[in-house]
Chain A
Amino acid sequence: AQSVAQPEDQVNVAEGNPLTVKCTYSVSGNPYLFWYVQYPNRGLQFLLKYITGDNLVKGSYGFEAEFNKSQTSFHLKKPSALVSDSALYFCAVRDGRGSARQLTFGSGTQLTVLP
């Protein structure tokens, strides 16, 4: 079985400060990991993904994520937060095994960047 957890429902950060949105996962095989962002009443937008290789993945809008196999984590980070980063963020995982089911999404983390 595969699962993903986002332990924080809400993250608040001041504009200009670094931000971290946490994600941990559980899979049987090698994980494929994704981050998406959702603005109110909109669809999800893809930010970045980890498939293999370098543990630090860079994505859209200055976001990056660090894959940590020993801690089974894939935290989303940005060095300097913008008010416009305020949105709902989803982590998703899929087991790399061929017979694995489809993507499993976390419950989401609401990020609020305060001016």
Chain B
Amino acid sequence: DGGITQSPKYLFRKEGQNVTLSCEQNLNHDAMYWYRQDPGQGLRLIYYSQIVNDFQKGDIAEGYSVSREKKESFPLTVTSAQKNPTAFYLCASSQSRDPYNEQFFGPGTRLTVL
């Protein structure tokens, strides 16, 4: 899983609560990404950031928020507005915004709503 860490590994949330998933990288990468993985659906992009203090919505940003105050950190908040948040969340980074750069993934956080 390279130089990307995600915490916690497992997270349980009650309905109506906001939770924040941590993602840290020590690869000195400019770009960072958050994906959601559901069985049989592959990965779907939630948010991405190509530079500090800037981020863009992906395909399924509703109910999520992010910040990018430091190059190495890209936390994801799952808000109570996300109707079906139970999923496996993956953080990734790439050296730059260039389309030919591969992405490196963290080990993931499994979020379960009780």
Contacts and interface: CB of A to CB of B under 8 A. Distances in A.
Interface in A38-52: 41-46, 49, 51
Contacts, number: 55
A42 B1 contact: yes
Interface stretch (A14-22, A65-73, A75-83, A97-105): A97-105
B27 to A, nearest CB: 13
Interface string B84-110: 000010101000000110111111101
By size class, the interface of chain A is: 20 to 34
Which of A36, A42, A103, A108 has most chain B Cβ within 10 Å? A103
Contacts of A42: 1, 107-108
Nearest to B88: A41
Contacts of B44: 105
Contact of B48 (A43, A45, A102): A102
A64 interface: no
Contact of A103 (B103, B106, B107): B103
Contacts of A51: 100
Interface of A: 9, 32, 34, 36, 41-46, 49, 51, 90, 94-96, 100, 102-103, 105-108
Interface of B: 1, 4, 6, 33, 40-45, 48, 58, 88, 90, 92, 99-100, 102-108, 110
